[in-house]
Structure 1
Amino acid sequence: MTLFDGVYPFYPQQRKPVVFDVDLIIVIIVFLVIAFSFLLILPGIRGRARLFWLLRVITSLFIGGVIVAVQFTSDWESGRVTANTTYKSFSPDVVYADVGVHIGLAGVNITLLGKPVGQLNETINYNEHFSWLFGKDYDHEFQEGLERGLPNPILYAAEKFSTLSPCGMHGQYRIAGHYASATLWVAFCAWLISNMLFSMPVPEYGGYMMLVTAAFLIFALLSFSTVRSSSSCVIHFGSASLQAVYGSSFWLTLATGLLCFLIGAVVILLHYVRPDLLRAIFDLCEEDEEEEGTLGEVYINPHLAEIKTLSSQPHFKLTIKNS
């Protein structure tokens, strides 16, 4: 729908701001249910193995949850600026608001929050998502935003990431996010294999796979960081400029990668220095003792043992009388 030779009108109705991503909530719930299920069976584990199992499972679920959750977050890069900016198209009205750009692997979230929220008899609180995943059309979503009459600051920031923008940020972030996401899924597969190896009598191989997990997490960060080295446009709002910096998801992924490297290095070091301690941590000593006890304990009739002892003496003769 157009008005006056292709100029889109502004519609005063506004959407509810997005607070949480549904996919992210599902991931968090799944891992919390797994952790809660393990806590229910934890009292059935006896001795010091209970503490070792608790640390192992909680740490492993944290690593797996982070690897999957950061795929759906929108704060790998974040930037915010406070400025006086025009609010509607073809209107001189100016609002004082925070404009935020939150970049993830799958797209960008652009926020607009008035200070105060109520200005011009409206509630200025927007959170709009524009996706650049393969199979989705970023320009089409931007066009829909024009038709809905989104505020000028959101459309201005979103236009910088479109394919028609001379900045070229769309292709850079799209390719970088695609390769970072693929590398994270490889890290998730390595994490699954490491957990299977840790449950076997060869925990040192699990340590090696944890190093592989850490390596792919670092590769994902390097893939995303390639955008920073390329030239990009600066988003200006009057005299203020919006500069994006690494967000919490980026640093959380880096911390998880370092944690995986630390776990893998400690497991391999213990394998060569203190193998007995490593087997105790992974609850392998008690299993060995139980196997040895099961195979080693044999019931011997004391009367047969006495006959065997007498038969070994010289001049011993066993006589069996028939009744």
Structure 2
Amino acid sequence: MRGWFDAFRNDGGPTLYSYSNRTPVTGDVQLITIFVIFCTIYTAFIIIFPGIRKQKLTTFLTVTLSMFVGTTIQVAQYGSTWHTASTTVVSSYSAFSKQRMTAEIGGFIGLMHINITYRVLPGYDELNDVEFNERFWWRSPNEMSTSFKEALYRGAPFPILSVAEYFSLHQEGFSWGSKYREAGYYASIMLWTSLASWFMMNLLLMVVPRYGAYSMVFTGLCMLLTDLTYWSLLPCDPLVAHVDGSILIFNFGWNYWLVLAAGIGCLFTGMIITAIDLIFPHQFSTILEVDYDTPYDRHVIIEESFDTRNTRRRLPKIEDAFGDRIIRQLSSKLVAEKEDRQGVINQGYVSQEPSEFQHEITNESNKSNWSYPFPPTPRRTIN
């Protein structure tokens, strides 16, 4: 058939969609998403970093370490390179086939799965575009066996099935699958604990940097315990997979070493910040603090309180001695007793004093701002 859509075609015909055009996997979507998220946040920080005027070094180191630790935790949680092995194998594509191909086979073990890759090396065979990447999960006890049966039904390459068989059987000497699942399960729990501690670390660094340093130390310890847990729960007998005369020997991958490096860096950085804060209190600071460079900044409050203390030290002591207070109290009591001895004026008595005395009293009462019916006197009166 020829029509409007046959331009730039080799055969001049329309596109045929009668088969599924499967392409090899070139990247893990989950890991790419994690890298994009953290790289976007860090790129935004790098853009605004030149505008920072104070605490540039501490802010840069703190943000860089925080992004590195957060990315490491998530990549290790979903990554497939905790235990890895790869080799070149000469085998048949399918069982009981006489055609043999030279290919590269690899096993990449994560916490909850294993990726088995199979790629025919170019130049060794005419079929040089064969490339497989099969993922087998073991989130539940029987999931690996189920995935292995599904791979058999799909017709996966024979070398992939040979490696997957070591993890699907849970009897006699074939117990590597359960051991790896146990190691990944407890290591995953420790990684989630590290992630929660990492969130708390970032929060406390913005509120109370001293406690943020303590949380940083705890995060580093959790990450180191993750590696220790995974290493201690691995099979006592190392897995050595045999595939048509070739041997796959599994060793620690870059996920394991990345968690170890991030844990050591986080632990030592937190200890250094804690030591600096103990020797020089309230000196560690970043621009990420909530009240930074505001009237509520802890540095401003500390400086103002320090100036207030110095001002109080410069002022003379106005507080009297203990003896002066005793004398003052005694003198007030003596004055009160003296007033009591002066007696009481009987206002019902009409005085026979001369009129001049009454005139003087009248003049004194008129001089005051208030008019009282009786002459002012320091003595108590009774109506």
CA separation of 1:140/1:282 partners in 2, compared to 1, >3 Å: closer, same or farther?
closer
Identify the residue that residue 32 of structure 1 maps to in structure 2. Answer: 39
Summarize the Cα distance change of 1:270–1:289 in structure 2 as closer, same or farther, 3 Å threshold. closer
Higher relative contact order (CA 8 A, sep 6+): 1
The alpha carbon displacement at 1:144 in A equals: 1.6
Give yes or no for the alignment of 1:267 onto 2:298.
Answer: no
Asked whether the equivalents of residues 117 and 124 of structure 1 are also in contact (C-alpha less than 8 Å), the reply is no
Report the CA distance between 1:67 and its aligned residue.
0.7
**2:171 corresponds to 1:139:** no
Task: Give the match for residue 129 of structure 2.
Answer: 123
Q: Tell me whether 1:159 sits opposite 2:165 in the alignment.
A: yes
- 1:15/1:146 Cα in 2 relative to 1: closer, same or farther (>3 Å)? farther
**Is structure 2 residue 243 aligned with structure 1 residue 258?**
no
Aligned twin of 1:176 = 183
The corresponding residue for 1:86 is 92
Per-residue Cα deviation, 1:95-121 (whole angstroms, up to 9, x for no partner): 111111110112001111222277353
Q: Aligned with 1:211: secondary structure?
A: helix
What is residue 83 of structure 2 aligned with on the other side? 77
Cα 1:59–1:117 change in 2 (3 A) is: farther
* Kept in 2: contact 1:18–1:128 (CA 8 A): no
Contact 1:118 1:124 in 2 (8 A): no
What displacement does 1:192 show? 1.2
Are 1:139 and 1:162, in contact at CA under 8 Å, matched by a contact in 2? yes
Aligned to 1:315: none
Distance across 1 between alignment mates of 2:105 and 2:237? 22
Corresponding residue for residue 254 of structure 2: 248
Q: Please point out which of 199, 205, 212 is paired with 1:198.
A: 205
| Aligned counterpart, 2:71 | 65
2:103 match: secondary structure: strand
Shift in alpha-carbon separation, 1:217–1:245, aligned structure 2, 3 A: same
Give a deviation string over 1:273-298, Cα, whole Å, max 9, x none.
Answer: 2336424798799634545789999x
CA distance in structure 2 between the partners assigned to 1:83 and 1:141 by the alignment: 23
The letter for the 2-side match of 1:192 is F
Q: Which residue of 1 aligns with 2:217?
A: 211
1:177-218 residue CA offsets vs partner (Å, 9 max, x unmatched): 1110111010111111111111124x2222221111111111
Who wins on radius of gyration, i.e. which is larger?
Answer: 2
Q: Distance in 1 between matches of 2:91 and 2:164?
A: 15
What is the TM-score when the length of structure 1 is the normalising length? 0.78
**3-state SS of 2:122 partner:** strand
| Structure 1 residue aligned with 2:112 | 106
Q: Is the 8 A contact 1:99 1:153 kept in 2?
A: yes
Check conservation: 1:191, 1:210, Cα contact below 8 A: yes
Describe the shift of the 1:118–1:129 C-alpha distance in structure 2 as closer, same or farther (beyond 3 A): farther
Preserved contact between residue 163 and residue 243 of structure 2 (Cα < 8 Å): no
Return 128-137 or 239-248, whichever deviates more: 128-137
Q: Name the Cα RMSD after superposition.
A: 3.0
- The question of whether the paired residues in 2 share the 8 Å contact of 1:117 and 1:125 is answered with no
Find the aligned partners of 1:37 and 1:82 in 2 and give their Cα distance.
Answer: 43
After superposition, the Cα gap between the structure-2 partners of 1:128 and 1:206, relative to the gap in structure 1 and judged at 3 Å, is same
**Residues 162 and 14 (structure 1), Cα distance of their counterparts in 2 relative to 1, 3 Å cut:** farther
Maintained 8 Å contact 2:213/2:274: yes
CA contact (8 A) 1:161 1:168 kept: yes
CA drift of 1:161 comes to 0.6
SS of the equivalent of 1:88 reads coil
1:108 counterpart SS class:
strand
The corresponding residue for 1:278 is 284
Normalised by the size of structure 2, how large is the TM-score? 0.67
Give CA deviations for 1:226-270 in whole Å, capped at 9, x if unaligned: 343522442113443110000000000000000111111101111
Structure 1 CA distance for aligned equivalents of residues 115 and 233 of structure 2: 17
Deviation at 1:145, TM superposition (A): 1.1
Rounded to whole Å, the distance in 2 between the matches of 1:145 and 1:215 is 40
* 2:254 aligned partner, one-letter code: S
Matched residue type, 1:64: G
1:264 counterpart letter in structure 2: G
Q: Could you list the runs of 5+ residues in structure 2 that have no partner in the other structure?
A: 1-19, 308-383
